[in-house]
Amino acid sequence: MDIVMLLWVGLGNPGKKYENQRHNIGFMCVDRIAAEYSFSPWREKMSAYICEGKIAGQKILLVKPQSFMNKSGGPVTQIAHFFKIPTNSIYVFYDDIDLKSGQLKIKNGGGHGGHNGLRDIDAHMNKDYWRIRMGIGRPMDKAQVHNWVLGNFTADDTNNWLEPLLKAIILEIALLADRNTERFMSRVAWRAPLPIEQTIEKS
């Protein structure tokens, strides 16, 4: 018998001009999950796109807020309430400049780390949801952080770590559906090792 439906949220900004930006890696991830696991077509609901499916027998609701990154909390909270999904069954995929490019870490609860999407979610709901941190690295010059986050992935990014990371997530996503977060993290890291320049880069 299925446990409560899980809510997997990908964060990003809506619109063609944003779709290949580093800030939109959350959208990219849930789009890939929906396509690879034959979820229902995306439909609009409560200022978001949502679709449903099953992975390893577990019901999953995918969500892409369409209210722009810094207003993500409203749609996520409304959808969670509508479908009666508790916060500890919510998983948020998002970009993290404090992790090396291609690195993935998961934690339950905590702060927003300066991420505007998480900041707004935190303002709308309890903080005991799961954070799936997807590293995009950071520029050497702190003054360039804004441009870096809103910059497009390069061909090298895509080939060297983005595509391997997304493929690894897809291959191991059943572990996340089973709430086995530690095993999921370790298997993704094994399937998508960091590029050599990332392993020697200072944190």
Taking CA atoms, 126 is separated from 73, 86, 90, 109, in Å, by 11, 10, 11, 9
Length, in residues, of the chain: 203
Q: How far is Cα 112 from Cα 188, in angstroms, rounded to an integer?
A: 23
- Our answer to whether residue 124 is catalytic in this structure is no
Q: How far is Cα 127 from Cα 150, in angstroms, rounded to an integer?
A: 26
- Active-site residue, from 23, 112, 115, 146: 23
Q: How far is Cα 5 from Cα 59, in angstroms, rounded to an integer?
A: 5
Question: So which residues are the catalytic ones?
Answer: 23
